[in-house]
Amino acid sequence: MFQCKFYSKPSQIRYGNELCGSGVGARVTAAQYATDTTTLSNIVEEIYDGIGPKPLIISPGGFFDANWFKEFINKTTDILDVVTHHIYNLGAGVDKGLVEKILNPSYLDGLADPFKQLENILETSGTSASAWVGEAGGAYNSGHHLVTDAFVFSFWYLDQLGMSAVYDTKTYCRQTLIGGNYGLLNTTTFEPNPDYYSALLWHRLMGETVLSTNFTGSKKMRSYAHCAKESDGITLLLINLDNLTTINVNLSANTLLKSRAQIELVTQDTKTGESTTREEYHLTAKDGDLHSQTMMLNGNELTVNSAGDIPPLEPLLVNSLEPISVAPYSIVFVHIPYLTLNACGNLVMEF
């Protein structure tokens, strides 16, 4: 017998936690989970008959297994709102090789497979459900102090945000706001860890429309581009995993459309003739220590004030004619307002 007693309306409902694939401690077959999820959907429909909005049916909330997910989704195409999976793709928190994995571009490239496969399953199944990362802490069993709560983890975290968006992931839930060694807030002081500021800049600068990017230089440069959020132009995310080399980035834009008329790149003010500027946010570790829990923005330490207020995240204004300079072991958000697109889509960014 299934009983529900809600004291406030939930926004989403699912069965269990990490029961898919090989499971964690326990597992349920895809066929059985699909049957149970159908029952859950019917119960929700009955309880919320004439009442809206209904909670989303989200499932399965576990580690991605292509065969299991494909069978489950194909059996629930008409009832699922969201397909969720969990990500701890760096392995155990006690692994002493976490930093080496984070700084290895080949390893990071391999982390795209679950996103890519899930996108393909959803596209071919006929479901209208979207993909979410329902939980992601990078390294399981509470992470690793001075790695998953330090500057170095922003290389992984922001790369994951960019990568998941490329494969049409609609929501990315970080494990966790506070707790373990992978929280966005320090568990003792409640002050922001570096990933908090990384997440905040992503939220403020990166719009929903994802643009294709292609970097033709060092493999240690990771690049992502979105339409700018609530602003003209685009925003780039550039991640330099090289410990020695400053990488200078020059931007070009090519459209996949038949006409280039939908792209306008204005590098000079048409009235004054002066060069336009872009906004750059350079993130580095304090004293160059990747294990530091203090992040620097454009050379300034990011700390809350005595009232607990988040510091202003002010950009550098840089002449549009200059290359984008990305220092070793640094992350740069670049808002380029002078690159305007009619539809802000069908664009390939080349560097």
Output the DSSP codes for 56-87.
EEEEEEEE--HHHHHHHHHHSTTT-SEEEEEE
Q: Cis omega (within 30 of 0) on the bond before 192?
A: no
Measure the CA–CA gap between 196 and 201, rounded to whole angstroms: 9
Residues whose CB is less than 8 angstroms from the CB of residue 89 and which lie 6 or more positions away in sequence, other chains included: 111, 114, 138
Q: Given this model, what pLDDT does residue 3 score?
A: 45
Above pLDDT 70, what percent of the chain? 89
Q: Given this model, what pLDDT does residue 240 score?
A: 98
Catalytic (active-site) positions:
18, 135
More confident residue, 15 or 9: 15
Q: Given this model, what pLDDT does residue 265 score?
A: 53
Q: Given this model, what pLDDT does residue 212 score?
A: 87
Q: Which domains does the chain have, with CATH numbers?
A: 1-185 (3.20.20.80), 191-351 (2.60.40)
Residue 271 binned pLDDT confidence (cut-offs 50, 70, 90): low
Region of residue 251 (phi > 0: left; psi between -120 and 50: alpha; otherwise: beta) = beta
Q: Given this model, what pLDDT does residue 86 score?
A: 98
- Across 283-293, average pLDDT: 99
157-166, 239-248, 251-260, 322-331: least confident range: 251-260
**Model confidence pLDDT, tens digit, residues 292-316:** 999 999 999 999 999 999 999 999 9
**Model confidence pLDDT, tens digit, residues 156-195:** 999 999 999 999 999 999 999 999 999 999 999 999 999 9
Measure the CA–CA gap between 7 and 324, rounded to whole angstroms: 53
Mean model confidence pLDDT for the chain: 91
Above 60 in pLDDT, residue 270?
no
- CA distances in angstroms from 1 to 26, 28, 39, 40, listed in the order given: 21, 18, 11, 12
**Model confidence pLDDT, tens digit, residues 132-165:** 999 999 999 999 999 999 999 999 999 999 999 9
Residue 342 binned pLDDT confidence (cut-offs 50, 70, 90): low
DSSP-derived pairing of the beta strands 316-319 and 324-326:
unpaired
- Across 274-282, average pLDDT: 90
Q: What dihedral angle (degrees, nearest 10) is formed by the CA atoms of 175, 178, 180, 186?
A: 130
Measure the CA–CA gap between 202 and 194, rounded to whole angstroms: 13
